[in-house]
């Protein structure tokens, strides 16, 4: 430009505070003066703000020579502000001024020692300037939960003081406090404006806010109180944390109990009442006091419980919570369920297993398991006995004795009426019915009256006209009667005996057979020797005769399980032949033809020993099958001989 040329010149100044506070707006002023000799055209103002300073929308006031405007700047990249003044005022004449006022807020990451920089563009030139450096003040929370540690037990109240102090260089803004009681604590009271979150809009430097918190200890774990505090703007500038804890005071419970009566007597048609006294003599509460009751038979129940609850699903009598130094009286009824008296057992043992927890829900050392025996009073019964001879030869007479006794037990019935029936074997002939009615194979005494504890006795006589070689049964029974509980009861008994063939068979006389045992009474794991003494009264061939030892009651030869063993055959007392036989199988005697002929009057001894494994009383049978000479007294035409054996331990 030639010397002396005229031109505009803009003098620019930006004024900023010496100090600003984080999260608080501060005001800034830009002065633009045309000190040149010509108007300045097309003015644009750019402001570059420091990092994390943010323009406050709507804060602009622009003062022109002819008026004002509140237009906000265009914002680029968050930190750059641009006001295009051309549409608003153009040109700026010599000695005229424009003043721009605006506000900005330093956010959390703003730092000290920074400036606002301004560049004003006009015509084809620009002017740049910067404000003085600024000190950025920020608040700092000191958060305290006092006391940090205190002792207490379950049920006690604990007190805390929450202090929020600003120890920073600037105010705290938008302070949020969150106080959290863990699950072992329950709020009792507080001075906080709201719970569990409260707020402070501003806390000045050095200022302290105080809140008191009172809580109840309800558990043994998670018994601490945490508090969190934060402040900031458009984000959190600071977060901090404090905690107060409870040191648990142990207060153990001590539960004991008694049960009465013991043993327990249960009426026949009712239930018995049971009393339990439960005491907690410890220093602390007992929780979930309960008794698992085992040994309850099917058909029994616990009913009418007081001061407790019985859960049938897990057989638990639940008493619940017990304070220290307290006691409870619990009662219940125990006995057969209604309608199940008839099938309910008469005795047993209840197993009472106590359990409880302390204030911390920890299983505590429970008192010993209790055992309560119970006996239910017996109901009425009918005892029947039948006796007679254990061996009856075909053709002989036999007398049997019958005794029937009614016992009323737990019922009040002094006497009952019933029918008594004796059932005798086929082939028996009644010789003396003793007042009974005979029908088929039965003798019946109708409407017999039985008195409590007084035996009713009869005897009857029969002739044995049944087949021989078998076990027969003579039984006696009563008709069913209802007792005082509506239960059906009756009585019965049976008597087993051997129907044996005559030792000297007649019609005509052909065989005489006597079987003996030595010894007939023994202990198991011993042997018994059997001797069959047989006389034949006809001429025949030995091959016509078959012999079988049945080996009843699990008898074997020795050693154990051997079914084949040696037997001795003695003909006419002088010829001894040894030969194996198999127990339970038919054995032909034809091998004896090699030693002697079978003629009228021939005698034969068959001797063998068998081992006893099982106990019991039984008849040991042996059989003969003779071709051409059937037994007229036997159901199968064979000859049979048996002897009673008793084996004990």
Decide if pLDDT at 20 tops 70: yes
Residues 470-493 have pLDDT tens digits of 899 999 999 999 999 999 999 999
Decide if pLDDT at 261 tops 70: yes
For the whole model, what pTM was predicted? 0.55
Decide if pLDDT at 444 tops 80: yes
Q: H/E/C letters for each residue in 81-104?
A: EEEECCCCCCCECCCCEEEEEEEE
- Cα dihedral 83, 88, 89, 90, rounded to 10, equals 90
β-pairing, 326-336 vs 300-306, is: antiparallel
What pLDDT, on the 0 to 100 scale, is given for residue 632?
83
Decide if pLDDT at 318 tops 90: yes
Cα angle for residues 70, 72, 75 (degrees, 5° grid): 165
What pLDDT, on the 0 to 100 scale, is given for residue 1?
40
The DSSP H or E segment spanning 105 is: strand 97-106
Decide if pLDDT at 501 tops 90: no
Q: Which domains occur in the chain, in start order?
A: 10-137 (2.60.40.740), 141-248 (2.60.40.1530), 256-376 (2.60.40.10), 381-500 (2.60.40.740), 511-647 (2.60.40.740)
What pLDDT, on the 0 to 100 scale, is given for residue 633?
81
Residues 84-101 have pLDDT tens digits of 999 999 999 999 999 999
What pLDDT, on the 0 to 100 scale, is given for residue 507?
47
Task: Find the mean pLDDT for residues 203-232.
Answer: 96
What pLDDT, on the 0 to 100 scale, is given for residue 508?
59
Sorted by sequence, the CB contacts under 8 Å of residue 264 that are 6+ apart come out as: 272, 274, 334, 350, 372, 373, 374, 375
Residues 143-160 have pLDDT tens digits of 999 999 999 998 899 999
Sorted by sequence, the CB contacts under 8 Å of residue 365 that are 6+ apart come out as: none
Sorted by sequence, the CB contacts under 8 Å of residue 603 that are 6+ apart come out as: 533, 534, 535, 536, 571, 572, 573
Class of residue 253 by CB neighbours under 10 A (exposed 0-12, middle 13-18, buried 19+):
buried
Residues 376-387 have pLDDT tens digits of 999 999 999 999
Nearest in space to 425 (alpha carbons), one of 370, 468, 472? 472
Which has the minimum average pLDDT: 41-45, 498-502, 561-565, 590-594?
498-502
Task: Find the mean pLDDT for residues 529-554.
Answer: 96
Task: Find the mean pLDDT for residues 411-440.
Answer: 96
Cα angle for residues 141, 147, 153 (degrees, 5° grid): 140
Task: Find the mean pLDDT for residues 176-194.
Answer: 97
What pLDDT, on the 0 to 100 scale, is given for residue 2?
41
Decide if pLDDT at 3 tops 60: no
Confidence class for position 4, pLDDT limits 50, 70, 90: very low
Sort residue 359 into left (φ over 0), alpha (ψ -120 to 50) or beta. alpha
Confidence class for position 503, pLDDT limits 50, 70, 90: low
Decide if pLDDT at 631 tops 50: yes
Using DSSP's 3-state secondary structure scheme, residue 370 falls into strand
Confidence class for position 77, pLDDT limits 50, 70, 90: confident
Decide if pLDDT at 197 tops 90: yes
What pLDDT, on the 0 to 100 scale, is given for residue 559?
84
Q: Are 147 and 172 in contact (CB under 8 A)?
A: no
Decide if pLDDT at 72 tops 90: yes
Task: Find the mean pLDDT for residues 325-347.
Answer: 94
Task: Find the mean pLDDT for residues 278-300.
Answer: 95
Residues 395-419 have pLDDT tens digits of 899 999 999 999 999 998 999 999 9
Q: Are 482 and 488 in contact (CB under 8 A)?
A: yes
Question: Please, what is the average pLDDT of the chain?
Answer: 94
Decide if pLDDT at 201 tops 80: yes
Which has the minimum average pLDDT: 111-125, 291-305, 357-371?
357-371
């Amino acid at each position: 430009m030639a010397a002396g040329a005229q031109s505009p010149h803009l003098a620019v100044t930006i004024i900023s505070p010496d100090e600003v506070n984080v999260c608080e707006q501060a005001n800034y002023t830009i002065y633009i003066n045309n000190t040149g000799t010509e108007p300045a055209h097309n003015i644009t103002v750019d402001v570059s703000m420091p990092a994390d300073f943010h323009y406050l929308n709507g804060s602009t006031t622009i003062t022109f020579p002819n008026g004002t405007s509140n237009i906000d700047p265009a914002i680029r990249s968050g930190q750059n502000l641009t006001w295009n003044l051309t549409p608003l005022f153009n040109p700026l004449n010599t000695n005229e001024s424009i003043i721009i006022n605006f506000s900005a807020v330093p956010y959390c990451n703003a730092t000290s020692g920074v400036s606002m920089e301004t560049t004003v563009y006009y015509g084809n030139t620009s002017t740049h300037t910067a404000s003085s450096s600024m000190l950025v003040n920020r608040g700092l929370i000191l958060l305290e939960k006092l006391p940090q540690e205190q002792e207490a037990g379950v049920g006690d109240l604990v007190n805390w003081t929450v202090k929020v102090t600003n120890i920073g260089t600037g105010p705290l803004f938008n302070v949020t406090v969150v106080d959290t009681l863990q699950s072992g604590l329950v709020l009792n009271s507080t001075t906080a404006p709201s719970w569990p979150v409260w707020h402070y809009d501003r806390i000045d430097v050095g200022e302290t806010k105080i809140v008191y918190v009172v809580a109840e200890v309800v558990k043994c774990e998670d018994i601490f109180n945490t508090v969190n505090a934060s402040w900031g703007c458009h984000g959190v500038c600071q977060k901090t944390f404090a905690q107060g804890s409870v040191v648990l005071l142990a207060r153990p419970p001590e539960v004991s109990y008694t049960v009465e009566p013991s043993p327990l007597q249960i009426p026949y048609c009712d239930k018995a009442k049971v009393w339990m006294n439960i005491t907690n003599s410890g220093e602390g509460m007992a929780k979930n006091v309960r008794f698992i009751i085992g040994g309850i038979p099917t058909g029994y129940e616990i009913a009418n419980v007081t001061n407790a609850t019985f859960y049938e699903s897990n057989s638990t009598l639940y008493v619940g919570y017990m304070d220290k130094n307290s006691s409870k009286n619990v009662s219940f009824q125990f006995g057969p369920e209604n309608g199940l008296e008839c099938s309910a057992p008469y005795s047993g043992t209840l197993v009472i297993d106590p359990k409880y927890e302390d204030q911390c829900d920890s299983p505590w050392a429970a008192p010993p398991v209790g055992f309560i025996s119970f006996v239910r009073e017996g109901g009425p019964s009918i005892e029947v006995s039948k006796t007679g001879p254990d061996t009856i030869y075909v053709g002989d007479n036999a007398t049997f004795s019958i005794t029937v006794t009614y016992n009323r037990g737990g019922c009040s019935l002094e006497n009952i009426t019933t029918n008594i029936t004796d059932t005798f074997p086929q082939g028996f002939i009644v010789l003396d019915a003793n007042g009974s009615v005979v029908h088929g194979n039965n003798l019946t005494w109708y409407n017999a009256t039985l008195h409590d504890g007084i035996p009713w006795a009869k005897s009857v006589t029969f002739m044995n006209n049944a087949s021989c070689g078998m076990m027969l049964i003579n039984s006696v029974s009563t008709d069913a009667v209802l007792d005082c509980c509506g239960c059906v009861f009756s009585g019965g008994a049976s008597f087993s005996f051997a129907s044996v063939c005559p030792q000297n068979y007649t019609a005509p006389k052909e065989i005489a057979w006597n079987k003996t045992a030595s010894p007939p009474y023994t202990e198991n794991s011993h042997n018994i020797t059997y001797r069959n003494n047989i006389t034949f009264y006809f001429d025949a061939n030995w091959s016509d005769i078959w012999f079988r030892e049945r080996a009843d009651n699990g008898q074997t030869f020795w050693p154990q399980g051997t079914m084949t063993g040696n037997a001795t055959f003695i003909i006419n007392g002088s010829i001894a032949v040894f030969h194996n036989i198999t127990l339970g199988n038919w054995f032909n005697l034809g091998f004896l033809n090699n030693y002697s002929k079978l003629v009228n009057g021939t005698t034969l001894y068959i001797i063998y020993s068998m081992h006893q494994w099982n106990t019991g009383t039984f008849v040991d049978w042996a059989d003969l099958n003779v071709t051409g000479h059937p037994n007229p007294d036997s159901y199968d035409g064979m000859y049979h001989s048996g002897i009673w054996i008793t084996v004990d331990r």
